[in-house]
Amino acid sequence: MTALAAFFGFSVLSLPILLAASEPSFWRFLAEMGDVLALGMAALGSSIGIGMAGQAAAGAWAKEARAGRNLSFTYIILVGMPISQTLYAMIVMNNMRSVFANMDVTVAEAGLLLGIGISTGMGEMLSAWMQGLIGAAGIRALSDGEGKGFAFVIIAMGIVETVGIFTMVFMLGMIPSV
């Protein structure tokens, strides 16, 4: 039994039996798993990105307070930017849900729906995570540079945001019509 099979609780030998399952509820389960993974993975990435930028903001505010400077509100913008990828995944998820009303399409396209969900989740998760990294670095740079360069940080974060938008648009285009 491989580590992957042990993780999922079945042996590699039973995989063909699962794949040949004629029960429509099994295929619906796989399709809906993609739906859930899209949102869950995106939310994970947003949480990580927000956490990283938030930690940098807290450190910058402490540094500014010690120096007797006003605390910068612009850090809040950078902290909040990674949340948008969760919204993009929710849009994909809601569009995928419309397919589940038709059991025949859901069963026939279960693999595609699972793939769309995983791809959406990965794209949005990594986009939000990297956006948080850029936001954290940007907050440190703005704090050290006394607020100079904010537009450049927003542009850098916007480039990563574009990956999240592309992921949403491309995956929406792959959802089967019912």
Task: State how far the alpha carbon of 143 is from the alpha carbons of 75, 106, 110, in Å.
Answer: 9, 51, 49
Query: Could you tell me the CATH number of the domain that includes residue 90?
Result: 1.20.120.610
In a domain, 9, yes or no: no
> Residue 26 has what pLDDT?
87
Residue of 153, 143, 134, 7 lying closest to 82 (CA atoms): 134
- Taken in order 152, 156, 91, 36, the sign of the CA dihedral is negative
Identity of the residue numbered 124: E
Domain hosting residue 111, numbered range: 23-174
> Residue 2 has what pLDDT?
54
> Residue 1 has what pLDDT?
46
Task: Name, in order, each residue with C-beta under 8 angstroms of 109's C-beta and a sequence gap of 6 or more.
Answer: 31, 99, 176
In a domain, 33, yes or no: yes
8 A C-beta contact, residue 143 and residue 64 = yes
* Cα 143 from Cα 42, distance rounded (Å): 29
In a domain, 1, yes or no: no
Provide the residue-wise pLDDT of the chain in tens; the chain has 178 residues.
Answer: 455 555 555 555 555 555 555 688 888 898 999 999 999 999 999 999 999 999 999 999 999 999 999 888 999 999 999 999 999 999 999 999 999 999 999 999 999 999 999 999 999 999 999 999 999 999 999 999 877 899 999 999 999 999 999 999 999 999 998 7
Task: State how far the alpha carbon of 118 is from the alpha carbons of 19, 28, 88, 152, in Å.
Answer: 18, 15, 14, 32
Phi–psi pair at 50, nearest 5 degrees: -65, -40
In a domain, 14, yes or no: no
In a domain, 133, yes or no: yes
Q: How many domains does the chain have?
A: 1
Give the Cα-Cα-Cα angle 172, 175, 178 (nearest 5 degrees).
130
